[in-house]
Amino acid sequence: IRLEQELEYAIERNQLRLLYQPKFDIRSGLPIGYEALIRWDHPEHGEISPLRFIPLAEKSGMIVPIEQWVLRTACLQAKRWQAGGRDPLPIAVNVSQVHLMKPDIYESILDTLEETGLDPRLLELEITESAMMHNEEHVIEILDQLKGAGISVSMDDFGTGYSSLSYLHSLPISCLKIDRSFIRKITTDKDSKAIAEMIISMARQLDLKIIAEGVETSEQVALLQELQCYNVQGFYYSRPLPPEQLEREQVS
Ligand code: G
Ligand code: G
Ligand code: MN
Ligand code: NA
């Protein structure tokens, strides 16, 4: 209860910040985009993981203003990188199920893009497979609107939910993110490898982009290359970093 109340003031008290984790093409070794990941610096408890406070925020409804703050901050950061002369790369933010179901989410996202001046083509929304399983017709309608505006949507944590092939086919998404639980065991467990392989070939058939999450070793990279999954995200390439550090390390 206490944390939940304190979260209400976290934005105005400047306790939230974003880290950015680059995504890479393993063939060129170059970054292809970034995912914004939230952190809460609590004055007494130190850094609190989103795994802990996002569920609280979803319960209280605070997730909506929090993710609006995330979106605005990430868009401004992307604009700043562009202004600094970097190649414009897409920036991804996570959108929770509670936020996705807000009736005015589309208008609110467009307002933020307009206010920050970010090209909608440089914005990606990551929505978990399980979040997309609620109220499927409504989800399709919202995603259609977003796509019409040039915003792309990725299905996050793919392989952990239960989307049917027909639903997957009817969703206007552009990318599947293979859940890191499969990648973790991809070189040691033949079932995990088989599942990853199946997801990769299905994505190809459905004309979807594919990215592997949680890549931590060179063995995993080599295997993914063999399976022709060339886009990756994970500690092997880069941890989520504060923007200043990302700039210093020139992965931006
Ligand atoms: O960065 P880290 O591994 O600590 O993130 C833990 C979890 O928190 C991940 O599942 C990540 O998707 C989630 N997360 C991070 N930022 C956000 C956010 O802005 N919104 C939502 N809904 N989830 C987030
Ligand atoms: O659920 P989502 O895909 O949004 O989660 C992103 C989270 O995954 C971030 O919190 C990030 O810290 C974490 N993450 C990113 N790369 C790796 C990795 O290589 N290994 C592990 N264990 N976690 C990772
Ligand atoms: Mn994500
Ligand atoms: Na994920």
ipTM, two decimals, is: 0.96
What token pair was written down for 130?
Answer: 């399980």
Q: Is 241 in the pocket of ligand 2 (CB under 6 A)?
A: no
| Closest to 176 (Cα-Cα) out of 219, 120, 233, 226 | 233
Name the residue with tokens 């004309």: 207
Per-residue pLDDT of the chain (252 residues; tens, 9 = 90+): 689 999 999 999 999 999 999 999 999 999 999 999 999 999 999 999 999 999 999 999 999 999 999 999 999 999 999 998 888 999 999 999 999 999 999 999 999 999 999 999 999 999 999 999 989 999 999 999 999 999 999 999 999 988 888 889 999 999 999 999 999 999 999 999 999 999 999 999 999 999 999 999 999 999 999 999 999 999 999 999 999 999 988 765
Task: Find all residues with CB under 8 Å of 89, minimum gap 6, and list them.
Answer: 31, 32, 33, 34, 78, 81, 122
CA of 205 to the centre of ligand 4 (A): 22
Q: Which amino acid is at 68?
A: Q
For the CA of 95, the nearest ligand:
1
Ligand 2, atom 9: nearest CA belongs to which residue? 37
CA of 249 to the centre of ligand 3 (A): 22
Which residues are paired to 232 by β-bridges?
A: 24, 212
- For residues 41 and 96, the answer to whether their CB atoms sit within 8 Å is no
Name the residue with tokens 């890191």: 180
The CA-atom distances, in angstroms, between 7 and each of 57, 71, 72, 87, 98 are 8, 17, 18, 35, 17
- For residues 18 and 74, the answer to whether their CB atoms sit within 8 Å is yes
Question: Containing H/E element for 137?
Answer: helix 136-148
CA of 36 to the centre of ligand 3 (A): 8
Q: Is 216 in the pocket of ligand 2 (CB under 6 A)?
A: yes
CA of 122 to the centre of ligand 3 (A): 16
In the prediction, which pLDDT does 240 show? Answer: 98
In the prediction, which pLDDT does 87 show? Answer: 86
Coil, strand or helix at 236: coil
What residues line ligand 1, using a CB cutoff of 6 Å? 37-38, 49-51, 54, 67, 70, 94, 96, 240
In the prediction, which pLDDT does 64 show? Answer: 97
Q: Is 157 in the pocket of ligand 2 (CB under 6 A)?
A: yes
CATH of domain 2-248: 3.20.20.450
